[in-house]
Amino acid sequence: MNDTDAAIVRSELVALQAVLIALMRRMVRHAPEMSPVLCGAFEDAEAIVTGVAMRMDMEDPGGSAFGALRVIEEMRAGVIKDEAICGERSGALGGQS
């Protein structure tokens, strides 16, 4: 992959993140009862990435797992303006019952 290809991939990823953030913001605004579901989805995503990193024996020379966690947290911050809508973080995949 050359620099041009990498720039295209980065642009596509940023565009997808923007669309997802906008969609989730609208969900929270128009269906506030869905807020806990979105909060749980971000928690699940963090758990999935952490699990993948652990299965890789933390061998992540490019820091992709840490980068993915950073992106998840940035997206969460872009969607969830008030953490009170989430209640306590469950810390477990699918922690809501």
Q: Is the dihedral of CA 68, 79, 88, 95 positive or negative?
A: negative
User: What's the pTM value of the predicted model, to 2 decimals?
Assistant: 0.77
Cβ-in-10-Å burial (0-12, 13-18, 19+) of 14 comes to: exposed
Query: What is the pLDDT at residue 52?
Result: 85
Query: Averaged over 69-90, what is the pLDDT?
Result: 87
Residue 95 CA to chain centroid, in angstroms?
16
Q: What is the largest CA-CA distance in the chain?
A: 46
Please identify which residue in the block is written with the tokens 């269906």: 31
pLDDT of 93 > 90? The answer is: no
Q: pLDDT, tens digit, for every residue of 30-75?
A: 999 999 999 999 999 999 999 888 887 666 667 788 889 999 999 9
Q: What are phi and psi of 77, to 5 degrees?
A: -65, -30
Looking at per-residue pLDDT, the higher value among 92 and 47 belongs to 47
